[in-house]
């Protein structure tokens, strides 16, 4: 379920933005790692969370 940013408080929006920034940094680090099963699991988890944070306008 994606977050509807139009209904989020300013504080919640800021936390969401910080989380996105951190996850994108994690994604960059994971993409630089040698691919293995553990890296793939983390990539899927980070990508899934980033997709969950997308605004509803894409649905």
Higher per-residue confidence, 59 vs 27:
27
59 domain-assigned: no
34 domain-assigned: yes
pLDDT at 24 exceeding the cut of 50: yes
pLDDT at 23 exceeding the cut of 80: yes
From CA 11, how far away is CA 33, in angstroms rounded?
33
- Nearest Cα neighbor of 43 from 33, 53, 52 is 33
The answer to whether 28 and 39 have CB atoms below 8 angstroms apart is no
Region 37-45: mean pLDDT is 97
40 domain-assigned: yes
Token pair, residue 59, equals 């649905």
- Domain extent at residue 28: 8-53
Q: What percent of the chain has pLDDT over 90?
A: 51
Total structural domains within the chain: 1
58 domain-assigned: no
44 domain-assigned: yes
Region 39-54: mean pLDDT is 93
From CA 51, how far away is CA 1, in angstroms rounded?
9
3 domain-assigned: no
State residue 25's pLDDT score: 96
1 domain-assigned: no
The radius of gyration of the chain's CA atoms, rounded to the nearest angstrom, is: 13
- How far is C-alpha 7 from the chain's CA centre? 19
State residue 42's pLDDT score: 97
């Amino acid at each position: 379920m994606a977050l509807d940013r139009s209904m989020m408080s300013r504080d919640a929006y800021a936390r969401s933005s910080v989380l996105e920034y951190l996850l994108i940094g994690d994604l960059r680090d994971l993409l630089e790692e040698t691919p293995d099963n553990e890296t793939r699991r983390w990539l899927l988890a980070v990508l899934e969370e980033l997709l969950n944070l997308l605004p509803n306008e894409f649905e």
